[in-house]
């Protein structure tokens, strides 16, 4: 099994993901939100690129849907929830369909349509993502959503953790970028501390999102691995 990493949504190329099992990682915070919502009984997540598209779908039957996501890390007017996983409690999401639009994560999902399988990964479900990848037996590309087209330290260390979990189960061939992600993870047991050096972190501080950060940096608190298929994310 070969493992590669793409460092931002802008760098996704079809030839790097075709016939691969792809994991979308946007640990701060879109893929942590999706994983949490599904774990709390949300029936499905529909990722969309624009606010207009989200409102249009929700308008068809407003009670059926939750609208979630962000622009510039802030809640979108008319939406129910921001991009904080802590808002997606069982009370809020159970039996609902989440329509979600974010700056980086949903873009990475949409741009990875050529993948053979597409899993939604974060630290909170990292080990289970690795298990599923091992079972699927395809080559793997971990797509870091990044931040505004840039590499993001948080997604990179999260990729390193998923790679480490895969390594414990099977033999793999790592590209240099995968080796470097693994290296960064192994050298930094204090993930919160590492991410505090990221550019992203300033924005987290400004918006007082330290609780989100702490939550998103917990490993393996969720067993479900959401999967994207034909426009919809579900627990398959």
User: Which secondary structure element, helix H or strand E, spans residue 173, and what is its range?
Assistant: strand 173-174
**Two structure tokens written together for 231:** 């426009």
Q: What's the CA gap between 16 and 81, in Å, rounded?
A: 33
How many Å from the N-terminal Cα to the C-terminal Cα in the chain? 23
- Check binding of 170 to a copy of itself (CB under 8 A): no
- Check binding of 190 to a copy of itself (CB under 8 A): no
- Check binding of 197 to a copy of itself (CB under 8 A): yes
- Selected binder of a copy of itself within 198, 204, 222, 233 (CB under 8 A): 198
Nearest 10 degrees: Cα torsion 67, 33, 9, 149: 90
User: Which secondary structure element, helix H or strand E, spans residue 120, and what is its range?
Assistant: strand 117-121
Span interacting with a copy of itself, options 21-29, 99-107, 198-206, 221-229, rule CB under 8 A = 198-206
Span interacting with a copy of itself, options 77-85, 122-130, 149-157, 203-211, rule CB under 8 A = 149-157
- Check binding of 176 to a copy of itself (CB under 8 A): yes
Q: Which is nearer to a copy of itself, 63 or 72 (CB)?
A: 72
Span interacting with a copy of itself, options 43-51, 81-89, 120-128, 192-200, rule CB under 8 A = 192-200
- Selected binder of a copy of itself within 153, 165, 209, 233 (CB under 8 A): 153
Task: Say if residues 224 and 235 touch (Cβ distance below 8 Å).
Answer: yes
Q: Which residue in the block uniquely carries the two structure tokens 């990179």?
A: 156
We find the least distance from the C-beta atom of residue 182 to a copy of itself, in angstroms, to be 10
Span interacting with a copy of itself, options 67-75, 117-125, 176-184, 213-221, rule CB under 8 A = 176-184
DSSP string, 22-40: EEEE-TTTHHHHHHHHHHT
- Decide: residue 74, CB within 10 A, 0-12 exposed, 13-18 middle, 19+ buried: exposed
- Selected binder of a copy of itself within 9, 152, 162, 204 (CB under 8 A): 152
Q: Which is nearer to a copy of itself, 98 or 213 (CB)?
A: 213
- Check binding of 187 to a copy of itself (CB under 8 A): yes
Q: Which residue in the block uniquely carries the two structure tokens 């809020």?
A: 92
Secondary structure E strands in 29-73: 44-47, 65-69
- Check binding of 13 to a copy of itself (CB under 8 A): yes
For the segment 76-135, give every residue that binds a copy of itself (CB under 8 A).
none
At 189, phi and psi to the nearest 5? -60, -25
Task: Point out which residues bind a copy of itself (CB under 8 A).
Answer: 4, 7, 10-11, 13, 147, 150-153, 156, 175-177, 179-180, 183-184, 187, 197-200
């Amino acid at each position: 099994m070969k493992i590669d990493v793409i460092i931002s949504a802008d760098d996704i190329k079809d030839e790097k993901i075709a016939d691969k099992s792809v994991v979308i990682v946007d640990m701060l915070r879109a893929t942590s939100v999706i994983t949490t919502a599904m774990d709390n009984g949300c029936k499905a997540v529909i990722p969309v690129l624009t606010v207009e598209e989200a409102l249009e779908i929700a308008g068809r039957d407003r009670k059926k849907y939750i609208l979630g996501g962000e622009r510039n890390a802030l809640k979108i007017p008319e939406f129910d929830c921001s991009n904080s996983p802590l808002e997606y409690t069982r009370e809020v999401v159970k039996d609902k369909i989440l329509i979600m639009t974010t700056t980086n994560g949903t873009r990475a999902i949409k741009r990875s349509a050529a993948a053979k399988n597409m899993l939604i990964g974060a630290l909170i479900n990292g080990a289970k993502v690795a298990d599923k990848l091992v079972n699927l037996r395809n080559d793997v590309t971990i797509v870091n959503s990044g931040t505004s087209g840039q590499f993001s330290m948080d997604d990179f260390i999260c990729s390193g953790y998923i790679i480490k979990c895969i390594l414990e189960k099977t033999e793999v061939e790592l590209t240099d970028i995968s080796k470097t992600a693994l290296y960064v993870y192994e050298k930094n047991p204090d993930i919160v501390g590492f991410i505090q050096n990221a550019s992203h972190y300033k924005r987290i501080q400004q918006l007082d999102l330290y609780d989100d950060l702490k939550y998103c940096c917990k490993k393996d608190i969720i067993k479900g691995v959401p999967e994207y298929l034909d426009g919809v994310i579900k627990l398959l």
